[in-house]
Structure 1
Amino acid sequence: MEILAEIQTAAFWSGLLAVVWVNVILSSDNAVVIALAVRTLPGHQQNKALAWGTGGIVLVRIILTIVAVEALKYPLLKIAGAVLLLWIAIRLLVAEDGEKTIESSDNLIQAVKTILLADLVMSLDNFIAVAAAAKGSVLLLVLGLVISIPPVIFGATVLVKLMERFPIIITIGAALLGWVAGEMLVTDPLVLIWVAANLPWMEIHLPFGMEVSWAQITGAAFVLGTGKWLASRREAGGEKTA
């Protein structure tokens, strides 16, 4: 009954959308690496490797992200997580990631191992982001990961091309991470009590039972502003070097 009540709320569906969006945005590079790992396999084995790899990734991510969800219940960890999330979001905008290369494999089992290892290594920052977006709900977490991981893996090339053609997708994703980080910061057990006592105007009530906070808005604005500033500095530095 609790599950039925939860899925009938607007907060549940907005939370599910956030989990899916965050995971899709942060997993685009992983998808490319996975595609490279199976590129030399025969066609029928490519499908098997992707299917087995996808199943393994879903299981591993659910377990590790649940651990992150539980960890975020302790004081100060949400503050640390919010700072990490802001850094991840700004990095998305500044696009400082170096090239990620991985060897392809002619062996099905080895290819699956490669997929799992590559995803684990490259997704360490995803766990904290998805855990934050899930807001402590294991149901949101599991549904969000199950929905978002298969499309990312099987649509790797399409996803990356869309991001290249429509950079606004990355910008929206980075802003969403900043939004989640802002909420994460003010819901830390130590901060929450102080905010409730001193900043009663923090919450903004919207129609249909929706609520947003100035912390969320500030987090998104901080990411967009800082990302734009760092990007402009890099461009200026590149022009001077040239």
Structure 2
Amino acid sequence: MTDYLLSLLQIIMINLVLSGDNAVVIALACRNLSPELQKKATFWGSFGAIGLRIILTFIAIWLLKIPFVQVVGGLLLIWIAVKLLKGEDEDSHIGGGASFVEALKTIIFADLIMSLDNVIAVAGAANGNLILVIIGLTISIPLIIWGSQLLMKLMNRFPIIVLLGAALLGYTAGEMIVGDKAVGSFLEGVMPSLHMILPVALAILVIVIGNYLKRKEKNALNKEVTNNHAETL
């Protein structure tokens, strides 16, 4: 029962951490609509996006049962976690919809593209349990629609939330890798305690790599600004 609740909490946290950008997409897509249409577009766009996400998650769960797919998913999740720490902006190109239908299409399409990371993470955390996915999404979606903008503000104010979120993804990636049918049994034969060590190690690794790349990118940007300033003098 404890494992069940922990997995459920993991799914909810992953949804909240990875879905912050989706709320921004909704706001950007609806910003040119009237207040009445904004509410309708937000509701129906979110409803359509949720349906697609559930279908994709079920497909991902089925795929993750195939040997080596969980390893690939875990490695992809590490990349997603590092990207989250680097703070790459995925939604800067989303334009505002001039009509209700256009805004609706923008929300659903953007959510489909941006939710691939979410789908992989949730499928990995659920460990093949469809009921967990349904309960987790049912609890998470209302929080995502109405609370993710608040979460984004908190992330900007308290960077530790982003750090913990990225670490959670790294931990989930480790669980996916050791849970793979082919690789997991091999790793357990090499070192039985690896199923406990690897998730923690990857959580730490994600934080180290993410922070390193973020500092490197910041230093490169500062150097470029300094060079440009020197050229203008």
Task: Name the TM-score, length of structure 1 as normaliser.
Answer: 0.86
Q: Distance in 1 between matches of 2:180 and 2:204?
A: 20
Runs of 4+ in 1 over 6 A off after TM superposition: none
Does 2:160 match 1:177? Answer: no
- Report if aligned partners of 2:24, 2:91 keep a CA contact under 8 Å in 1: no
Does 2:93 match 1:101? Answer: yes
Does 2:61 match 1:78? Answer: no
Instruction: Give the alignment partner of residue 236 of structure 1, picking from 209, 219, 231.
Output: 219
* Number of the residue aligned with 1:62: 54
Q: Distance in 1 between matches of 2:85 and 2:99?
A: 37
Letter in 1 for 2:121: A
Does 2:207 match 1:215? Answer: no
Instruction: Give the alignment partner of residue 12 of structure 2, picking from 14, 20, 42.
Output: 20
Q: Distance in 2 between matches of 1:235 and 1:114?
A: 32
Per-residue deviation, residues 46-85 of structure 1 (Å, max 9, x unmatched): 2222221222122110101110011001111111111100
Task: Name the TM-score, length of structure 2 as normaliser.
Answer: 0.90
1:99, CA displacement in angstroms?
5.3
Structure 1 residues not aligned, in runs of 5+: 1-8, 204-212
Q: Distance in 2 between matches of 1:156 and 1:198?
A: 42
Residues 240 and 37 of structure 1, relative CA distance in 2, 3 Å threshold? closer
1:193, CA displacement in angstroms?
1.7
Letter in 2 for 1:223: V
Letter in 2 for 1:71: L
- What is the root-mean-square deviation of aligned Cα atoms in Å? 1.7
Moved more, 112-121 or 229-238: 229-238
- Report if aligned partners of 1:58, 1:146 keep a CA contact under 8 Å in 2: no
* Number of the residue aligned with 2:231: none
* Number of the residue aligned with 1:142: 134
Residue aligned with 1:40, SS: coil
1:223, CA displacement in angstroms?
0.4
Residue aligned with 1:155, SS: helix
1:104, CA displacement in angstroms?
2.0
Instruction: Give the alignment partner of residue 82 of structure 2, picking from 90, 93, 101.
Output: 90
- Report if aligned partners of 2:25, 2:94 keep a CA contact under 8 Å in 1: yes
Letter in 2 for 1:179: Y
Does 2:113 match 1:130? Answer: no
Residue aligned with 2:193, SS: helix
Q: % of aligned pairs identical?
A: 44
Q: Distance in 1 between matches of 2:215 and 2:97?
A: 40
**1:34-73 correspondence to structure 2 within 5 Å:** 34-73=26-65
Letter in 2 for 1:226: I
1:102, CA displacement in angstroms?
2.2
1:134, CA displacement in angstroms?
1.4
Q: Distance in 1 between matches of 2:79 and 2:151?
A: 23
* Number of the residue aligned with 1:226: 209
